[in-house]
Amino acid sequence: MHRPNGRGREARPPRTHASSAPVAGALAAFALLATAANAQVSELSLDGELALQLAPGDAATAELLGPPTTFAAMALDVDPGPVPFLGQSLPLGVTPALTLFAFNGTDASGLATWPLVAPSSSSFVGSVFYFAGLVADVTEPSGLRLSNGVSLEIVDRPPLLAADLAGRRLGGDPSFSAVDVVQQNDRIYVALDAMKYPFAAGKEADVYVVAAKDAAEWATDPSLVDVTSDGPNTFTFTFDVLSQNVLAVEPSASPGANGDQMASAFDVVVDLDRDGMLGDGDVIDGKGDEVGLWITAVTGNPGPYAVTELLYDGGSTWLKEDIYYPSNVAALGQLPLVVVSHGNGHNYQWYDHVGQHLASWGFVVVSHSNNTQPGPQSAATSTLQNVDHFLGNLATIAGGALNGHVDTHRIGLLGHSRGGEGVVIAYHRLFTGAYQPTNFTRSDVRIVSSIAPTYFEVSSPSPDVIHDVPYHVWVGGADADVTGCGSTFVAQPMAHYGWAEGERSLIQVQGAGHGAFHDGGGSTVSAGPCLLSRAQVHRIMKPHLLALFGYYLRDEAAGRDFLVREFSDLRPLGTPSTSCAVVHVAHTDGPDPSDLVIDDFQSASALTIASSGATVAWSVDDLSEGVLIDNSNFTDNGTQAFNSFTHGSSTGPPQGAIFSFGTASSQTYRYELPLADKDATKYRHLAFMLAQSSRHPLTVALDAKIEFEVRVEDWSGNSRTLPIGSYGDGIGEAYARSGCGTGTGWAAEFESFTIRIEDFARDTSLVDLTDLRYVEFLFGSDHGSAQGRVAIDQVELTRK
């Protein structure tokens, strides 16, 4: 049991945050007492605090420090006084209610204690009691020395409360932010904002990390069983800034994987009454059926199952398959299916790293021969026919071992290059009905992922696009085939991303070549500095594959964090440690009426109006909105606003804004929310995407990540500014590759950033999140980097 917050800590005065009248009265009284206490030299405290709140029936300990082994006494009253007494100031009102406690004595260390129990009747709720101590002291003329005063407020015992307790330490303000996912062996940080939960202030509590229970399980068994290596941690939450209320939990005994699931589920409980049971007055992260915290395994390592791989010939050139599944599939029920469609000049037997890894974690993987040479339309035909054939022949494939063990309603498509465009076209055909599958339906395809996809469809007047299904793209910065160079749309792997109407994600791996994503040997088909080997790229791919397909095909909530959070924040275990492994991820949730998309730049073309109707104001330079495309090479000629951006096509929808900064020390880009959208407490995150413009003189001169700040302000003018550097490492630079015109720096890479809404209201912040007016991005030397050019997109308040 840790006691990191013991008696020796300096007790601090409470802040005027508490809102109830009795509390306010107690605080006012406390202020007087604290002033009076300055003249005293004996110290009185209640559970180490000068002001304490207890629920009816709760216990505390009064501690009086004075000379050793001498007489001690304590009294309470309902009035804080002070009144003169024995030539000193007594911090009590000396009303008829004055009550003297049993006489006591200090021990050899000078400490005298009295156990206190708050009255059990709820009729006392709101009452405030004041305490003062007295010790014998021969140095005083009266022979007695008075203590400071302390207060005790009886508060209503709250019901079991839900709060985001588990999180991570930040590198700066606000020092802590709640998260849903940590990785195995990561230290878990638990924080309770005692200003938000004042009843917890000053109370010693036990902090548990327990195996998650749903509501029914908690009702049946409310006992708390800590799973960490050293048992529950004891901590005293103080009426103080959040950074003083963060407890580090050593997680060494907490498991990661849960069978073939990538994460284990936990709840985090602050047991305020220390009875070892979850109940009223406690605080839980993971209330009801929610999960408080996921701890993920080393997701880059193989999963728990041995893998069987076999080659299957469906009797046609393009119905040949390399199949991977858990060897004990007979005992595993129905497993999701991942279908791999290779690229041109590639081979369906070149994806062992995908098949072996996912099958070891409980997926069935089918990598099929793919008719890519004619083009992606033919590849799409191969994909669809293979899915249908495989699902229709489970009774015979692998001797029937998979029959009844493939979940035909949970299918993921993963294509590479022309195969990557092929899977997009395949879904388009399902969407339009151009292909009528026999053994599955469109809705069975839950996720489509393209590795370095081509974009031949750009030449079509009505291109086949990905529509509403969740879509994911892998981009290799060093790709020497589908290069990403702006001079030809066919070679722009991010173009499909812009068409996606549902959830969409990007992972951009600098230094990864086109051939590094398969395991066929030979060249990695790469160009640029700091190249990654095929093995290194695979070590980045494996955990990301598991997160991607775990999230979309098995509803593994932990997977989402790996798609959303900065790589520098949540770098999957098992990925290579080389500094060349620079990865940027971006994620946008699909249309969700419960989210507020402040600006996706798809409508309201006026610079002053966001797509949500929010008003836009700015002091940044050279602001433009438009399609995120570069119609030529990456040479910066000063005329293309979106030079180096390749997220759309001339006919595609994706748009964003871009601006420069560097002419002043503080330059802003600000949204004023519509009044109807002022309540931000409905949301968990402020999310947005940013990217550095490549080869622009300002970013070239900066040659570093861009740091900036985010500020919110309410309608009363209260504001809070948070530096993005607290959460991660800023806006990354584009890959330092030359070619595709003159200069250095490859295609711009968007990154997602998310900030918990509640972080803006931490500690001394007076921001009223129910009354939010501005969301503002601050650039310049006052806020981080002195100069740069930045594109922004998808500014949202999200509930996820």
Cβ closest to another protein, residue 176 vs residue 456: 456
The secondary structure of 430-477, three-state, reads HHHCCCCCCCCCHHHEEEEEEECCCCHHHHCCCCCCCCCCCEEEEEEC
Residue 609 is classified by DSSP as: B
CB of 483 to another protein, least distance (A): 8
CB of 470 to another protein, least distance (A): 24
- Whole-number Cα distances in Å, 59 to 146, 198, 559: 24, 16, 43
Q: Which of 193, 260, 352, 481 binds another protein (CB under 8 A)?
A: 481
Task: Please report the sign of the dihedral spanned by the C-alpha atoms of residue 724, residue 725, residue 727, residue 733.
Answer: positive
Cβ closest to another protein, residue 235 vs residue 456: 456
CB of 479 to another protein, least distance (A): 9
Cβ closest to another protein, residue 141 vs residue 522: 522
Q: Which of 13, 105, 279, 375 binds another protein (CB under 8 A)?
A: 375
Q: Which residues contact 140 (CB under 8 A, 6 or more apart)?
A: 86
Q: Which of 120, 252, 328, 373 binds another protein (CB under 8 A)?
A: 373
Q: Can residue 347 be called a binding residue for another protein (CB under 8 A)?
A: yes
Cβ closest to another protein, residue 429 vs residue 711: 429
Cβ closest to another protein, residue 165 vs residue 495: 495
Cβ closest to another protein, residue 446 vs residue 514: 514
Name the segment binding another protein (CB under 8 A); options: 211-219, 294-302, 344-352, 467-475: 344-352
Residue 99 and residue 138 in contact, taking contact as beta carbons nearer than 8 Å: no
The long-range contacts involving 697-704, CB below 8 angstroms and separated by at least 24 positions, are 697/636, 698/660, 698/661, 698/662, 698/787, 698/788, 698/789, 699/733, 699/734, 699/745, 699/788, 699/789, 700/743, 700/744, 700/745, 701/787, 702/785, 702/786, 702/787, 702/788, 703/733, 704/733, 704/785
Q: How many residues bind another protein (CB under 8 A)?
A: 38
Residue with tokens 């290596």: 229
CB of 513 to another protein, least distance (A): 12
DSSP 16-29: TT--SHHHHHHHHH
Contacts with another protein, 135-174, as mask; x by CB under 8 A: ----------------------------------------
What is the distance between the alpha carbons of residues 417 and 516, in angstroms, rounded to a whole number?
Answer: 12
Following CA atoms 279, 282, 286, 289 in sequence, which dihedral angle do they give, to the nearest 10 degrees? 20
Cβ closest to another protein, residue 373 vs residue 666: 373
Residue 226 and residue 154 in contact, taking contact as beta carbons nearer than 8 Å: no
- Whole-number Cα distances in Å, 226 to 49, 207, 250: 27, 9, 12
Cβ closest to another protein, residue 61 vs residue 347: 347
Q: Which of residues 447-466 bind another protein (CB under 8 A)?
A: 452, 454, 456, 459
CB of 388 to another protein, least distance (A): 17
CA–chain centroid gap for 350, Å, is 34
Q: Can residue 121 be called a binding residue for another protein (CB under 8 A)?
A: no
Q: Which of residues 350-369 bind another protein (CB under 8 A)?
A: 350, 369
Q: Can residue 4 be called a binding residue for another protein (CB under 8 A)?
A: no
Q: Can residue 396 be called a binding residue for another protein (CB under 8 A)?
A: no
Q: Can residue 374 be called a binding residue for another protein (CB under 8 A)?
A: yes
Q: Which of 168, 213, 320, 587 binds another protein (CB under 8 A)?
A: 320
At 284, the amino acid letter reads I
Contacts with another protein, 278-317, as mask; x by CB under 8 A: ---------------------------------xxx-xxx
For the chain, the maximum distance between any two Cα atoms, rounded to a whole number of angstroms, is 107
Q: Which of 244, 301, 334, 378 binds another protein (CB under 8 A)?
A: 378
Q: Can residue 524 be called a binding residue for another protein (CB under 8 A)?
A: no
Q: Can residue 592 be called a binding residue for another protein (CB under 8 A)?
A: no
Q: Can residue 344 be called a binding residue for another protein (CB under 8 A)?
A: yes
Cβ closest to another protein, residue 459 vs residue 665: 459
Q: Can residue 343 be called a binding residue for another protein (CB under 8 A)?
A: yes
- Give the helix/strand (H/E) hosting 136: strand 128-136
Q: Which of 377, 643, 649, 692 binds another protein (CB under 8 A)?
A: 377
The long-range contacts involving 213-221, CB below 8 angstroms and separated by at least 24 positions, are 213/267, 214/288, 214/289, 215/288, 215/289, 218/278, 218/288
Angle CA 10–16–18, to nearest 5? 100
CB of 255 to another protein, least distance (A): 39
CB of 300 to another protein, least distance (A): 26
CB of 657 to another protein, least distance (A): 31
Classify 759 as helix, strand or coil.
Answer: helix
Residue 60 and residue 47 in contact, taking contact as beta carbons nearer than 8 Å: yes
Cβ closest to another protein, residue 46 vs residue 452: 452
Q: Which of 234, 360, 408, 417 binds another protein (CB under 8 A)?
A: 417
Burial of residue 363 (CB within 10 Å: 0-12, 13-18, 19+) is: buried
List the one residue out of 515, 507, 569, 497 whose CA is nearest residue 544.
Answer: 507
Site residues, another protein (CB under 8 A): 311-313, 315-317, 320, 343-345, 347-350, 369, 371-375, 377-378, 381, 417-418, 452, 454, 456, 459, 481-482, 488, 490-491, 514, 520-522
